[in-house]
Amino acid sequence: MSEADSNIDKPKLYGEYLQLPSLLKCQSMTSAEAGKPVHDEHLFIITHQAYELWFKQILFELDSVREIFTVPVLDEGKARHINNRLSRITLILKLLVDQFLILETMTPLDFLEFRTRLATASGFQSLQFRLIENKIGLKEDSRVKYNQQHYMKVFNDPENIAMLQDSISSPSLLTLVERWLERTPGLAKAEFHFWERYQCAVNRWLEDQWYKPVKDENDPEVKETLMAEYQKQKDSFDTVFDPEKHQKSMERGERRLSHKAFQGALMISLYRDESRFNQPFHLLTLLVDIDSLMTKWRYNHVMMVQRMIGSKVGTGGSSGYHYLRSTISDRYKVFLDLFNLSTFLIPRDYIPPLTITMKRTLSSVINGDCVDDEVRASKECSP
C-alpha cells in the first residue's frame, strides 16, 4: 500500500478534514499589519469570505443542475434532483440577502479607518459572482457598462479569464430551461395543439370580460373608456400571439425565451395541477425565486454601500452607489418572461379542457374533468 493510500484510510480529525488550520489563517487584517488594528476589519474580511464560500456552493449546485439538464429525457427522478438543488440555491441566497445585516453593524466611521488600505480591491472583482451571473444566463448586453468598460477587463489571470469565457460560451441555465420548455408535451399540432386552443380561450374571455360590457353600455363616454380598455387588453395578448411581435420584444431585450418555450411555460402554469406538470411548475417557481433573490441581494448590497460610503466613488473605480443602483433593473432579471407569465393567465373557467389523450399523457389517473377528442369541438370555439 502506498503512503497516499494509507493517508486516505487514516481516520481524520475534525480540523484536518475541514482543513481548518489553513482556512482560519486567511484573515489578515491590513490595519493590524500597519500597526493600527481596526476592530471591525475582522468582520469585514470574514463576511466577504463567507459570501465567497457560499458562492462556491451555489456554483457547485448550478453546475450539477446544468449537467442534469443536458440529458435528452428529464424523468421524475432527475426533475426532483433539479428542484432539490435549485431549492437549496434559493435558501443560500436568502441567507446571503440577510447576511448584509451583520456587516451593517460596522459604522461608516469605523469603515473609513481601514477603507484606504483596500486600495483598488472591490467586490467588482469577484470572479465567482460573475460566474454565477453568467451561468444563470445574464446576457452580456444586459449589463450596465462599468466606466464604459467590459467587466472582464478587471481580470488578469489567464485561468480566471478562461473560466469566465467558458461560463459565457457553455449553455446557461436559461438556455437549458428554454430547450426543455420547447419540448413541453401538448404543444405540437399532432398532440393537444395548446397554442391554438389557448388563443381561442383568450378571445372568448376578452369578449365576455371586456367586449360585452362595451356593447351593453349606452353612455358614449363610458363606452369609449371601456373600448380603450378592451383594446389595451387585446394589444397586450397580441404581443404573444404574434410570433413577429414576440421576436421584436426579444430583440429589445424585453423577452428572453423563444416563442415555443414561452408557450411551454404558459401551458405548465395553466395545467400545473396535472401530476406530470407538478414538478415542472415547481421548477419555474424556483427560477423566479432565484431571480427575485438575486435582485434582493443587489438591493441590500447597494443600501449598505450608500450607508457606508454615501456617494463616494468605489474602491474599484466606479461611481459606487449610482453604478450599483442602475443594476437593480429588469435588465438583470434572467427569467423575466416567467415573471410576466401572470399577464397572460386566464381564469380557470376559460382554460381549454384537456382531451382524454392529453389527460393520459399528463396524468396516471383519468377523471371526469376532461373531454373526449370528438366532443371537445362542442365545448370550445373553433380556431
Interface residue list for ligand HEM (CB under 6 A): 47-48, 51, 103, 111, 122-124, 126, 129, 301, 304-305, 308-309, 314-318, 320, 323-324, 327
When computed from its CA atoms, the radius of gyration of the chain, rounded to whole angstroms, is: 26
Is residue 371 classed as helix, strand or coil in its secondary structure? strand
Report the distance separating Cα 128 and Cα 164, nearest Å.
9
**Toward ligand HEM, which CB reaches closer, 176 or 336?**
336
**Toward ligand HEM, which CB reaches closer, 280 or 320?**
320
Is residue 94 classed as helix, strand or coil in its secondary structure? helix
Least distance in angstroms from the C-beta of 154 to ligand HEM: 10
Least distance in angstroms from the C-beta of 99 to ligand HEM: 8
For 320: left if phi > 0, alpha if psi spans -120 to 50, otherwise beta; the answer is left
Report the distance separating Cα 258 and Cα 182, nearest Å.
8
Report the distance separating Cα 69 and Cα 8, nearest Å.
33
Q: Which residue, among 6, 26, 23, has the nearest Cα to 15 in the 3D structure?
A: 23
- CB distance 108 to 140 below 8 Å: no
**Toward ligand HEM, which CB reaches closer, 283 or 294?**
294
Least distance in angstroms from the C-beta of 100 to ligand HEM: 7
**Toward ligand HEM, which CB reaches closer, 28 or 364?**
28
**Toward ligand HEM, which CB reaches closer, 139 or 245?**
139
**Toward ligand HEM, which CB reaches closer, 309 or 356?**
309
Least distance in angstroms from the C-beta of 48 to ligand HEM: 5
Residue 354 dihedral angles phi and psi, to the nearest 5°:
-80, 145
**Toward ligand HEM, which CB reaches closer, 304 or 351?**
304
* C-alpha separations of 262 from 75, 104, 247, 344 in Å: 21, 41, 12, 11
Least distance in angstroms from the C-beta of 305 to ligand HEM: 4
Place of cell 500597519: 34
Least distance in angstroms from the C-beta of 320 to ligand HEM: 4
Least distance in angstroms from the C-beta of 209 to ligand HEM: 42
- CB distance 320 to 120 below 8 Å: no
